[in-house]
Structure 1
Amino acid sequence: MSIVAALIVPLALAQSAAAPTGAIGERFAQCLALIEENPVRAYEEGMAWAGEAQSVHAYRCAAMALIAQNRFDEGARRLQSLASAVNPENTGLRAELWSQAGNAWLLGREPGQARSNFTRAITAVGNDPGQLPDLLIDRARAYAMERDWRPAEEDLSRALDIRPNDPLALRLRAASRMNQRSYELAEADARAAIRIEPGNEENTLVLGDIRESIRTGTPFERN
């Protein structure tokens, strides 16, 4: 997955009413496409657009262009600032920006910062079943990066209560349970993920890790 793709998540948020439309939407899409080709130029174009129109989406594209240059800290902080500046009534856009900031912090291996941003996004969307599962999954990824397995499992279970057949949530919960030595539950999750998504090798790898953990009695750690 490219850096741009990683930041245009969760999909439910990207397709929400917060997504830009019309001429702004077209220009934003062009700016995102340019990030893939030339992130330095995309940053310059985004800032020029921001100077012209003061559009939040122009500043957002510029922030994403920074992240595509591996300037994760700068880009994430800009996205956070944008989210805080957006009208509080525009919960969809605020949640989207905080989610993108959280993913940027994950790319920068800063799970504490990521978790904080995902929590803000979760608070913004409330109990919206279309948006909440992806945000819970992302926050679980931050917890897992911190090796805080219990809250990771709790977020994933909550996501699965809303969207039961999510193979990513099942796979991640399997890993979280394995690391808590709940091997039978972990194996059940991994097998469920394989049934739903048999072509994904990551599901099979997690099942193999769990079986190795059962064999040795110690959670398997992949290098």
Structure 2
Amino acid sequence: MILLPVLLAAAAPTLDCPALLKDDPAKALEIANGRILQGGGVSAKQCAALAFAALGKWPAAAAAFEQAAHEAERGQLAVAADLWVQAGNAHLAAGQAKEAVGAFDAALLTGAVTGRASGEAHLDRARAQVALGKLDQARIDLDVALRQVPEDPLAWLLSASLARRMGDLERAGTDIGKAAQLSPDDASVALEAGRIALASGSPDAARVAFEGAIKVQPNSDAAKAAQAELDRLKTPAQQK
């Protein structure tokens, strides 16, 4: 009897994961799983994880990235840190915030995540902390991210949103201003600016910001949220 891994190996003697992912992620997953059954190493597991991600199967992708990260750690490979970061982002996409925090913790504990990569990892861990309602921990991570990746508008946007949620409207206004400087045509930034203006008691400024979000990216999720905010701002007389 011929085993399945042998058949897969015969069908694909080389595993060009990037090309396969672009052309046929399901085929990439099939071949990668065959290589894993044959005792394939970190690269096969990472390819499987990337294929799951390309197919939108985020819980499976997160699990596969973690398997690859564990194997990389056993082999003392530097790629382990990157794999933990990928696992964390897959968990986030799967709505698994607690597991995401654990993966980002593992990545940062390796000591191999430095510079911009460290800033982005802290930013992503902050997103997971917010999802868990741990706003104080998220604030710590975001402050690190802002120091390490001050050119990233998403960091300033998330910082502004967090500050608003924590009642620090002065900081929220300052941070959303920096986000707007870095990304002036981002509907998400305009949407948050409107929410901060509304929380600060400035409905007219909020309307301008919400209308700006719709104008710059009319079909985006942020624009739809901005329209919902505008609808809530309408007076009974305007709704007639």
TM-score scaled by length of structure 1:
0.76
1:51-62 residue pairs with structure 2 within 5 A? 54-62=40-48
Unaligned runs of 5+ in 2: 1-13, 203-224, 229-240
Change (3 A) 1:57 1:126: closer
Q: Deviations over 1:63-112 (max 9, x none)?
A: 22223334322221121122112146423x11111111111111111100
Q: Which residue of 2 aligns with 1:179?
A: 165
Q: Cα RMSD (Å) of the superposition?
A: 2.3
Which entry has the higher C-alpha Rg, 1 or 2?
2
Residue 106 of structure 2 is aligned to residue 117 of structure 1: no
Separation in 2, partners of 1:168, 1:125: 24
Of residues 22, 26, 31, the one that matches 1:33 is 22
Deviation at 1:126, TM superposition (A): 5.2
Q: Which residue of 1 aligns with 2:33?
A: 47
Change (3 A) 1:201 1:101: same
Q: Is the CA contact (8 Å cut-off) linking 1:150 and 1:176 kept in structure 2? A: no
1:150-169 residue pairs with structure 2 within 5 A? 150-169=136-155
Of residues 92, 95, 101, the one that matches 2:87 is 101
Deviation at 1:136, TM superposition (A): 0.5
Q: Which residue of 1 aligns with 2:63?
A: 77
Separation in 2, partners of 1:110, 1:209: 27
Deviation at 1:32, TM superposition (A): 2.8
Change (3 A) 1:32 1:72: same
Of residues 118, 130, 133, the one that matches 1:147 is 133
Unaligned runs of 5+ in 1: 1-23, 217-221
Separation in 1, partners of 2:112, 2:146: 16
Separation in 2, partners of 1:147, 1:213: 20
Separation in 2, partners of 1:112, 1:50: 28
Aligned residues: 190
Q: Is the CA contact (8 Å cut-off) linking 1:149 and 1:177 kept in structure 2? A: no
Give secondary structure in 1 for the equivalent of 2:16.
Answer: helix
TM-score scaled by length of structure 2:
0.71
Give secondary structure in 1 for the equivalent of 2:27.
Answer: helix
Change (3 A) 1:67 1:127: closer
Q: Deviations over 1:118-168 (max 9, x none)?
A: 111111135721320010011011111122222112111111112223211
Residues 73-82 or 43-52, more deviating: 43-52
Give secondary structure in 2 for the equivalent of 1:125.
Answer: coil
What amino acid is aligned across from residue 155 of structure 1 in structure 2?
D
Percent identity of equivalent pairs: 26
Q: Is the CA contact (8 Å cut-off) linking 2:164 and 2:172 kept in structure 1? A: yes
Of residues 194, 199, 212, the one that matches 1:208 is 194
